Chains A and B, each alone.
Chain A
Amino acid sequence: MTLTERMTRTGGPATAPPSAATKRRRAAETRAGYAFLAPWLLGFFALTAGPMLASLFLAFTNYNLFAPPSWVGLGNFQTLLHDPRFAQSVKVTVAYVLVGTPVKLIAALAVAMLLNNRRRGQGLYRSAFYAPSLIGASVSIAIVWKAMFIDRGIVDQIGQFFGIGWGGWVGNPTMTMPMFILLTAWQFGAPMVIFLAGLKQVPAELYEAASVDGAGPVRKFLMITLPMISPVLFFNLLLETIHAFQIFASAFIISGGTGGPAGSTLFYTLYLYLRGFQDFRMGYAAAMAWLLVVVVGIITLIFFRSSRSWVYYRGEAE
């Protein structure tokens, strides 16, 4: 809006019809623009849009990579309804999203608030707390994580020190989920940085005024901080939720690519991968992928709709 306003205010071209020379120059500029965009466009159409369309087609076929795909209509989606492993993978993934995302965001917000205070060496602290999210999604961290949580690994030893005999988490179907939630919570760096930026934007005079009125820290947090950072909270919540649905690499490494023990780490994308690349049921896997796209899309839509009632944008309210 503001940009167009400024253009119309400054520019004659917007009001007067353009001359032939200007037209030519514009056409040349457009061509140059597309030329510079070409590498990206090529990548987008050849590597993203094309394969996506292909997978949309495959979702309605039986395709085992060896023989050409055969059309089955909605067959794959009907099979999904009666697939107990599919139900298990949905259960595992939803549990992970519902618990993992809030835990991660709370950790991120808590650390961001600690780091928001001015103190010596805060640059060092910020870097240190951000570091895990740089390496957290890597294969090596998944391997380290597994080593930490096996029988007599460091976590088991700490447990024994406090007299808790929880043993190795990796082989215990009830303890694998907490292990993955700890892994994701530990990578709170990215949302933390965004929270930190949001916290910096909260005007100090609001807190001062609240202090004068006798508000305590909890009240200040609930009545000032949360509403003022609700846009970044919304952003983080949306991003981390979508991110959580896509968990794959760490689950693949820690479970040795099986989703075990006893299906307790059979995350949606891992199951999709197994169907596609272990059983070579590409059509079925493509159907699962598109179902995930649709579900995440709907969740995103719900988030945006609901945001009207709980996200506060300062600029808009004027």
Chain B
Amino acid sequence: MRYSRFSSLLAGAMALALVVGACSSSSSPVASSGGETGPVTITYTWWGNADRASRNEQALTLFKKKYPNITVQTSFIDFTGYWTARATEAAGRSLPDVMATDMAYLREYSANGHLLDLSKYIGNTINLSGFDQSLVKAGMVDGKQIAIPTSTNTLALFYNPDLLKQAGVEPPAADYTWADYNKFLAAVSDAGKKTADGHKIYGAIDYATTFWFFLQWLVQEGKTPFNDDGSFGFKEQDMKDFLALSADLRKAGQIYPVDRGIQLLPKGGFTMNESASEFSWDNFLAGYVADSGTKNIQVMPVPTGSNGTKGMFWKPSQLLSAGANTKHPDAAAMLINFLLTDPEVGAIFGTSKGVPADKAQRDAMKPKEGSVDATVVAYEKAVADQVTAPVPLPVKGFGSIEAEYKTLGEELDYGKITIDEFVKTWFAEAATMTQ
């Protein structure tokens, strides 16, 4: 009985979607959805900080103006707590109508049908004509469009020119290798300069203990990190090789001390202006500028791999999904479309989630010369021809194996375990986590 009601609702929704698609150019408020009359209330959840919350609220104020019959209830939390809360809701089949999702967790949610297949809305309610098609595919798992990315980002090296000047070290050249980067880090740390507070200036934290940098390196080495069947495209030796890259720096104390880094959380050596460089996603620039209090942070591409290419990839960020349990799929699809494609929303968020995936949103940003948004957009333009690889599509349990890599990385930096122990433990844990 429940099923039949659901399918009739679905049929109604599809019929309506066709109508909506036919007149999608008009901005007239679409009141009812699938047999419903009158106003509906849907829920929308994302992770992030107060800054992202205020941008979302601005966007939703606009949404309310355009769709007065749809009321959106919002909530947000930090990234880690976010997935705990969502998993609990998934267990009770009570996911939000619209929610932000990340590549790392898509497979879990897909495998058990927790997210709505949005394909039937694409082309009518959801207009993705301004999207790069490969990007849309990133949200497709097992043939279902369970998520659509709002933005993209790619890895970058950030550096602080003021600290480099103080240390008397030049930033790496554009075609630098991982070995060159090591030399650069050693030079900055060995300069022995101190900040005004008397803290020693270092080159960077240990890059080898971040899982995504390992994946980037694997791609450069011509490996596919994750196979379609969910198995790994790398072996224990690959991980050992990558961890060995920074082993000498660890031994010589030429990386930013892990014990101080831990105490500074959620800030870090780089945002305390005690460490001269850091690898991260390019949309982190806004946060770096805000946290460090210095506007003078430069962005450049990642090191070149052994085959002479950088093998960068676009990572779809902040995907939007609808819970499969939603009672208002049409309203949810409308909100998703609005957040993905409305030009004004693009202007509100800027590059804070990454560079918008939709062309109209990108064009609407009109970033000021020298602003954070302008820097990030210029960076993504400049590296576009070096982005040659597809993003590694995370396996099931990715969130856990990434966290495990980080935990072990901390123990490695503390000198509590060896590289061999690291790799052995990681593979043993990962085997259970990706089951």
Q: Which residues of B contact A277 (CB under 8 A)?
A: 84, 87
Q: Which residues of B contact A66 (CB under 8 A)?
A: 87, 90-91, 108-109, 111-112, 114
Instruction: Tell yes or no: B249 within 8 A of A by CB.
Output: no
Instruction: Tell yes or no: B378 within 8 A of A by CB.
Output: no
Q: Which of A257, A261, A279 is B262 in contact with, Cβ under 8 Å?
A: A261
Residue pairs across A and B with CB atoms within 8 Å: the count is 72
Residue of A nearest to B266 (CB): A256
CB distance from B428 to the nearest CB of A (A): 9
Are B91 and A278 in contact, with the CB atoms below 8 A? no
CB distance from B194 to the nearest CB of A (A): 14
Q: Which of B108, B114, B400 is A278 in contact with, Cβ under 8 Å?
A: B400
Q: Which of A64, A260, A278 is B84 in contact with, Cβ under 8 Å?
A: A278
A170-185 vs B: 1/0 string, CB under 8 Å?
Answer: 1111000000000000
CB distance from B201 to the nearest CB of A (A): 15
Tell me, in angstroms, the Cα distance from A150 to B259 when the chains sit together: 10
Tell me, in angstroms, the Cα distance from A67 to B262 when the chains sit together: 36
Q: Which residues of B contact A263 (CB under 8 A)?
A: 407, 411, 416
Residue of B nearest to A66 (CB): B112
**Extra pairs beyond A64-B108, A65-B88, A263-B411 (14, CB < 8 Å):** A65-B90, A66-B87, A67-B112, A79-B432, A84-B425, A167-B259, A170-B263, A173-B414, A261-B414, A262-B410, A263-B416, A278-B84, A278-B403, A279-B433
Are A261 and B84 in contact, with the CB atoms below 8 A? no
Counting chain B residues whose Cβ lies within 8 A of the other chain, the interface size class is: 20 to 34
Are B259 and A171 in contact, with the CB atoms below 8 A? yes
Instruction: Tell yes or no: B53 within 8 A of A by CB.
Output: no
Q: Which residues of A contact B266 (CB under 8 A)?
A: 256
Are B425 and A261 in contact, with the CB atoms below 8 A? no
CB distance from B180 to the nearest CB of A (A): 30
B256-268 vs A: 1/0 string, CB under 8 Å?
Answer: 0111111101100
CB distance from B109 to the nearest CB of A (A): 7
Q: Which residues of A contact B265 (CB under 8 A)?
A: 256
A-B pairs, top 4 by smallest CB distance, nearest first, are A171-B259, A65-B91, A262-B414, A150-B263
CB distance from B307 to the nearest CB of A (A): 35
Q: Which residues of B contact A280 (CB under 8 A)?
A: 87, 108, 400
Contact A171/B260 with A65-B90, A278-B80 known, Cβ cut-off 8 Å: yes
20 A-B pairs, CB-CB below 8 angstroms?
A66-B90, A66-B112, A67-B111, A168-B260, A170-B263, A171-B257, A173-B414, A256-B262, A258-B407, A258-B410, A260-B262, A260-B410, A261-B258, A261-B259, A261-B262, A262-B414, A263-B416, A278-B84, A279-B397, A281-B432
Tell me, in angstroms, the Cα distance from A280 to B91 when the chains sit together: 11
Q: Which residues of B contact A281 (CB under 8 A)?
A: 432
Tell me, in angstroms, the Cα distance from A65 to B411 when the chains sit together: 29
Q: Which residues of A contact B258 (CB under 8 A)?
A: 171, 261
B89-122 vs A: 1/0 string, CB under 8 Å?
Answer: 0110000000000000000110110100000000
Contact A261/B87 with A150-B263, A168-B263, A279-B400 known, Cβ cut-off 8 Å: no
Residue of A nearest to B262 (CB): A171
Tell me, in angstroms, the Cα distance from A195 to B415 when the chains sit together: 45
Q: Which residues of B contact A172 (CB under 8 A)?
A: 259
A48-93: which residues lie under 8 A (CB-CB) from chain B?
64-67, 79, 84
A123-174: which residues lie under 8 A (CB-CB) from chain B?
150-151, 167-168, 170-173
Q: Which residues of B contact A150 (CB under 8 A)?
A: 263
A28-43: which residues lie under 8 A (CB-CB) from chain B?
none
Listed residue (A167, A171, A263, A281) with the most chain B CB atoms within 10 angstroms of its CB? A171
A interface residue numbers (CB < 8 A to B): 64-67, 79, 84, 150-151, 167-168, 170-173, 256-258, 260-263, 277-281
Residue of A nearest to B421 (CB): A84
Q: Which residues of A contact B433 (CB under 8 A)?
A: 279
B393-411: which residues lie under 8 A (CB-CB) from chain A?
397, 399-400, 403, 407, 410-411
Tell me, in angstroms, the Cα distance from A84 to B355 when the chains sit together: 42
Residue of B nearest to A82 (CB): B428
Q: Which residues of B contact A257 (CB under 8 A)?
A: 80
B250-304: which residues lie under 8 A (CB-CB) from chain A?
257-263, 265-266
CB distance from B96 to the nearest CB of A (A): 16
Tell me, in angstroms, the Cα distance from A258 to B111 when the chains sit together: 28
Tell me, in angstroms, the Cα distance from A29 to B257 when the chains sit together: 70
Q: Which residues of A contact B397 (CB under 8 A)?
A: 279
Residue of A nearest to B407 (CB): A258
Tell me, in angstroms, the Cα distance from A262 to B414 when the chains sit together: 7
Q: Which residues of A contact B90 (CB under 8 A)?
A: 65-66
CB distance from B267 to the nearest CB of A (A): 12
Contact A65/B87 with A84-B425, A262-B410, A279-B400 known, Cβ cut-off 8 Å: yes
CB distance from B18 to the nearest CB of A (A): 33
Q: Which residues of A contact B112 (CB under 8 A)?
A: 66-67
Residue of A nearest to B435 (CB): A62
Residue of A nearest to B257 (CB): A171
Are B114 and A262 in contact, with the CB atoms below 8 A? no
Q: Which residues of B contact A171 (CB under 8 A)?
A: 257-263
Q: Which residues of B contact A278 (CB under 8 A)?
A: 80, 84, 399-400, 403
Q: Which residues of B contact A261 (CB under 8 A)?
A: 258-259, 262, 410, 414
Listed residue (A64, A167, A281) with the most chain B CB atoms within 10 angstroms of its CB? A64
Residue of A nearest to B416 (CB): A262
Q: Which residues of A contact B91 (CB under 8 A)?
A: 65-66
Listed residue (B397, B403, B410, B425) with the most chain A CB atoms within 10 angstroms of its CB? B410
Are A151 and B88 in contact, with the CB atoms below 8 A? no
CB distance from B350 to the nearest CB of A (A): 28
Residue of A nearest to B415 (CB): A262
Residue of B nearest to A150 (CB): B263
Tell me, in angstroms, the Cα distance from A279 to B407 when the chains sit together: 13
Tell me, in angstroms, the Cα distance from A258 to B109 when the chains sit together: 24
CB distance from A250 to the nearest CB of B (A): 16
